[in-house]
Structure 1
C-alpha cells in the first residue's frame, strides 16, 4: 500500500502562536525549528512514499522549503490537522492508500510509532482510522497530572475497548486512578500519541461533518469520528527506552530539550 505523510502546521495557534518556528536545541547544541524536527522524524519512517508539509502561512512555507521539505499550501479555514490533511491530499490529487497525519508539534515521535500505526491499519480491513497509544510510566503520568494541576493543557489520554476501538480521548487524565506509581512502573493510563492514519474515504468524509459538542469541549479532532460513530483503532506502541512528549505550551520547550539531551538526539 502506498503511504503519504502529511505534516499539518499553522502559525496562528491559539495557545502558542508561531509554534512551528520555535527553535529546539538538541544534544549537540544545534537549534532547529519544531517544523524541521517534525519533518526529520517523518523522513526517518520506513515504507513512506512521500512527505509533505501542509500550511496556510508563508513564513512556515519559506522555512520548510529552506531545509528541503515539499510544501502544500492549504486554506486558513482548516479547523484542525485532519481537515488540513484532507485538503492537502485533495490538492495533490490523491493517489495514496493510506494518509498519515504526523502533527508538527511532535518531533520526538519515533519512526516505529508510525510504522506500527500503518501496519495496524493495514492489518485491520474494517478500520478506517487508527492512532497510536503508549502506556504511561509513572514519570509521564506524574507530568500529565502536574500539568492539569497547574491549569495547563498537557498531553491527551485515551481509553479503548477489548477490540482496541477508542471509547474516548480527553485532555483530562483518564481513567481515574488514585494510586501513586514509581517513575518506571507501568500505569493503567495510556498517553495518546498525536499521529493518525486514515483511509482516503474517511479523510474525505471528515471535513463534511460539523464539529460535535465533545470535539468542541475537548479541542480534540479525533472525537469527530467517534461522535459520527466511526471507530478509531488504537494501536499500542512501545517506547523502547525513548521518552515521548509533545510541544503544547511554551513550558514544554525546556522539557523537550532536556529529553533530547538525555536521549542523545542532535
Structure 2
C-alpha cells in the first residue's frame, strides 16, 4: 500500500492565530510535526497542506514539502483531499496528521498505517481512558468499538452509559476509549466523503467523523498506548513545551 502523509496547517485560528508558526524550543510547531512524521517508516511521502504563503515559505525554508490549498475548506479532510489531488502521484491511502501535535509519536503513525490493507475504508486511533476527568469531559470525544475494532459511534458524552453503577466506579467496570484525531482514508473513499453534506449527527455532536458513519462508511480503530498532546491555545503551548523540553 502506498501511503501519503498530509499535515493540514491553517494560519487562521480563533483561539491561537498563526499557531503553526509558534516557536517551541527554537523550532516552529509545524517543523516539529513534520520532523516527527518524517520518522515514521510506512509513509511513502509527506506534505504540508496550507492556505497561507507564510506557512508555505517557512516549510520550504526548513526543506519540507508543501502545497497551497484553498482558504474555503471546511475541514482538514477537505484540505487533505486537495493536497492528494495536487500531489499528482498514485497513493492507496492518505493519513491526516494534525498540524498542532508537535510531539506526536512516529509509532502511532506506523501503527495506523500498518492496518491499511486495501479493504479498510477509513482508519483512526483511540486510547483507553484512565482518568475520570477525561471520562466525563465533553470536550474529549469518546468512541465505542465493536469486536473487530470498527467504530460504532463517537460522542462527546460518556459512552456507554453504565446503568446502576455509581459514576466513580465506571472506570473499574468498563473499558472506555477517547478518540485521537488522526485519520486514514482510502483515496477513493476520501473523494466520496468530501462530497457529503453535513449530517444531522455531525451537527448534533460537532464531530465530522459522524458524517461518515451516518452515510454507511466503516472506520477501523487502532488502540494506542501513547497520549496525544494537541495545542489549541497558548496555554497548551506552554504546557507541552514544559513537558517535553524542560528536562535535560
Q: Give the TM-score, by structure 1 length.
A: 0.82
**1:117-196 equivalent positions in 2, closer than 5 A:** 117-122=112-117, 125-138=118-131, 141-143=132-134, 145=136, 148=138, 153=139, 155-176=140-161, 178-179=167-168, 188-196=175-183
> Contact between 1:175 and 1:188, CA under 8 Å: does it hold in 2?
no
Change (3 A) 1:46 1:238: same
Q: CA contact under 8 A between 1:56 and 1:76: conserved in structure 2?
A: yes
Residues in 1 aligned to 2:144 and 2:211: alpha-carbon distance in whole angstroms? 16
Q: Tell me the distance in 1 between the aligned counterparts of 2:104 and 2:116.
A: 18
Q: How far has the Cα of 1:173 moved from its partner?
A: 4.2
Contact 1:72 1:88 in 2 (8 A): yes
Q: What secondary structure is seen at the aligned counterpart in 2 of 1:84?
A: helix
1:231 and 2:223 equivalent?
A: no
Distance 1:176 1:38 in 2: 36
Corresponding residue SS for 2:31: helix
Determine the structure 1 residue equivalent to 2:5: 5
1:27 alignment partner in structure 2: none
Alpha-carbon offset, residue 58 of structure 1: 1.1
The structural deviation recorded for 1:254 is 2.5
Whole-angstrom CA distance in 1 between matches of 2:177 and 2:78: 25
Task: Give the drift of 1:236.
Answer: 1.2
Query: Which residue is 1:249 aligned to?
Result: 233
Give the Å deviation of 1:165.
Answer: 1.4
The 1:15/1:214 distance shift into structure 2, 3 A limit, reads: farther
- Distance in 2, matches of 1:257 and 1:176, equals 36
CA distance change for structure 1 residues 57 and 174 in 2, over 3 Å: closer, same or farther?
A: farther
Count of residue pairs brought into register by the alignment = 244
- Say if 1:210 and 1:238 are closer, same or farther in 2 by CA, change over 3 A: same
- Counterpart for residue 27 of structure 2: 32
Q: Distance in 1 between matches of 2:210 and 2:225?
A: 24
- CA distance in structure 2 between the aligned counterparts of 1:176 and 1:20, rounded to whole angstroms: 38
| Structure 2 CA distance for partners of 1:213 and 1:59, relative to 1, 3 Å | farther
- TM-score, normalised to structure 2's length? 0.87
User: How far off is 1:72 after superposition?
Assistant: 0.6
> Partner of 2:127: helix, strand, or coil?
strand
Q: Which moved more, 1:230-239 or 1:169-178?
A: 169-178
Q: State the distance in 1 between where 2:112 and 2:10 align.
A: 24
Q: CA deviation at 1:35?
A: 1.1
Contact 2:49–2:68, Cα closer than 8 Å, also in 1:
yes
Q: Distance between the aligned counterparts of 2:241 and 2:173, measured in 1?
A: 24
Distance 1:23 1:42, change over 3 A: same
